[in-house]
Chain A
Amino acid sequence: MDNDSSLKDIVLRYQVSRSRDLLAALQMALASYIYHYPRKVFHRDHDAASVFYLYVFERLETVVLKFEDHGYRFTTWFTAVLRNLYLNHLRTRSDDASDRSLPLSENTADSVHGMPEDIARHECSEQDTRRDNILARLKDRFSVRDSLLFQMHFLELFKESIVIPLADHLSLSVHGALSVIERARRTYRKRYLRLLSLQDTYTRICSRVKKEDAPSRSLLARKNGLALRMEQIQLTVPFRHIARVFSVTLNLVSKVITKIRSFLRTRTSREAA
């Protein structure tokens, strides 16, 4: 969203006048931002994005009425709300949601301020639970450095939990640790952009397949090929970059990550058995 002040102005005017035209203008301005939120932040495909878009669209009127101008940007506030809405959306879609959603910030002071009340808590998604399980398994068995090497490799899963331990381990400020993580994420940005563009192509082909009564075999083969190519894209930080950040050898990074992966695999298969 380019013009934050004009958006804020529309929202504040809408809160007073409740004009349908202002709401329509707001919907137009926010539509693309809402649609692409799950794609850009949570790597979801177009199907998930369109379902979430409808979920937010139904609630948009109520959401914008909760905005209060306290010196922050509307975009920042709206992104925080979108995150909570997304986690709520996941919770409502999952069957055993009550087991998975654990409030993380019961003690956050007046966290409901300016947020819709039912979505004020920062809640765990399925991904958070998975991450916490892995971290709990690694904690006793491996050293902090080894665990951090592993988390750095699978950064997309651990990017939110790694910041403080990384700052402590490398004796950096939190801001410094965030910069280290941003630099690491840049190593797979091209792959991520490639994934987004493959998702676009895949969705276009799917809509063609749906439209045609008897889709050609080449079209179906292309669709399957694209699905396979999307699966093959791994958003991981290269070993070389990790070795440079932690000032260790490439061989060590490779050994540690392989060891932890095989440990987790045996633990999971043992638990499943």
Chain B
Amino acid sequence: MNCYSTPDLLRMVDAGKPDNSFLTHIRSCTSCAHAYVSLTFSISAMDLLPDSPLFEDIPMPSASLSLAPHGFVVKHAGGFSLASPIPVRGKRRSAVSLISGPVILEPLDRCTFRIVISSVRRSCTLVRDNDVVYRTGQRDERVFISDLCTGSYRLTVDGIAFSFTVE
């Protein structure tokens, strides 16, 4: 008797219960039996065993903000925390900064801002509107990238990506 084709085998596995002619066939055909059984066990293992939390889709921190005379106006800040320090008596209130992991976005004046990165272990790249603005491939402490203006930014620090748009 001829062996079953791969599509037939796949349909048989999908059905969950093979038909009698197939059952008779695989008693004498090691090849089809092996293909059927190994696929059945693979699918049952993939369905039954849980995934590990080590492979999770972590959403990339992203923010959308605009520059104003008094600092940032934040429209959306997913994955970023807003740092708004309490003003000291007699002094001006500090402007709002955005913090996410080792990255801090700080407004400088009405049309520029800067990025402070607390530490870079392997590499750091900043891309603005598809142009590389800053890149380092070495270990560094407290990286300052100043005089940045409006644009769509994507920052990668040691493989972790941050995205933000400044208007």
Q: Do A and B bind?
A: yes
B51 CB–A CB distance under 8 Å: yes
Q: Which 6 interchain pairs have the tightest Cβ spacing? A: A105-B31, A72-B10, A70-B7, A40-B49, A109-B3, A40-B45
Q: Is A247 part of the contact surface with B, judged by Cβ < 8 Å?
A: no
Measured CB to CB, the nearest residue on chain A to B35 is A122
Interface size on B, as a range, is 35 or more
Q: Assess whether A9 is interfacial by the CB under 8 Å rule.
A: no
Query: Chain A CB within 10 Å — which of B6, B34, B37, B51 has the most?
Result: B6
Contacts of B48 in A (CB 8 A): 189
Query: Is there an interface contact between B23 and A173, defined as CB atoms closer than 8 Å?
Result: yes
Instruction: Let me know if A230 is at the binding interface, CB within 8 A.
Output: no
A57 within 8 A of B: no
The contact sample of 14 A-B pairs, CB cut-off 8 A, is A36-B51, A36-B52, A36-B55, A37-B42, A41-B42, A72-B11, A80-B42, A109-B2, A113-B7, A120-B6, A122-B34, A164-B27, A199-B52, A200-B54
Instruction: Check A122 against B38 for contact (C-beta < 8 Å).
Output: yes
Give CA–CA (A174, B4) in the complex, Å: 16
Which of B12-20, B75-83, B110-118, B140-148 interfaces with chain A? B12-20
| Chain B hits for A35, CB < 8 A | 55
Chain A nearest CB: distance from B44 CB in Å? 7
CB of B86 to closest CB in A, whole Å: 34
A147 within 8 A of B: no
A109 touching B5 by the CB < 8 A rule?
Answer: yes
**Interface: B30 (CB within 8 A):** yes
CB within 8 Å for A163 and B33 given contacts A79-B39, A110-B5, A174-B23? yes
Contact (A109, B4) CB under 8 Å given A76-B39, A122-B38, A164-B26: yes
B14 & A73 in contact (Cβ 8 Å cutoff): yes
Residues of A within 8 A of B32 (CB): 105, 108
Residues of B within 8 A of A71 (CB): 7, 11
A31-B55, A110-B6 known; A196 vs B37 contact (CB < 8 Å): no
A192 to B52, CA, bound (A): 13
User: Counting CB contacts under 8 A, is B58 at the interface?
Assistant: no
Q: Which A159-184 residues sit within 8 Å CB-CB of chain B?
A: 159-161, 163-164, 167-168, 173-175, 178, 182
Any chain B CB within 8 A of the CB of A253? no
A67-96: CB near B (< 8 Å → 1, else 0) gives: 000111101110110110000000000000
Say yes or no for B85: interface residue by CB 8 A criterion. no
| Nearest A residue (CB) for B11 | A72
**Shortest Cβ distance from residue B112 to the other chain A in the assembled complex, whole angstroms:** 34
Interface residues on A, range: 35 or more
Which of B17, B31, B42 is the one whose CB lies under 8 Å from A122? B31
Q: How far is the CB of A197 from chain B (nearest CB, A)?
A: 8
Q: Contact between B50 and A193 (Cβ–Cβ < 8 Å)?
A: yes
| Cα distance, A109 to B6, chains bound together (Å) | 8
Is A221 in the interface zone, CB < 8 Å from B?
no
- Whether the Cβ atoms of B23 and A175 lie closer than 8 Å is yes
List residues of chain B with CB within 8 A of the CB of A236.
Answer: none
Q: Is B160 part of the contact surface with A, judged by Cβ < 8 Å?
A: no
In the complex, A100 has a CB within 8 A of chain B: no
8 extra A-B contacts, CB within 8 A, seeds A46-B52, A106-B31, A178-B40: A40-B46, A80-B39, A108-B3, A108-B4, A113-B5, A167-B27, A200-B52, A200-B54
> What 0/1 readout, one digit per residue, does chain A (94-108) give for beta carbons within 8 Å of chain B?
000000000011111
Q: Report yes or no: A104 in contact with B30, Cβ–Cβ below 8 A.
A: yes
**Known: A39-B52, A40-B49. Is A104-B34 also a contact (CB below 8 A)?**
yes
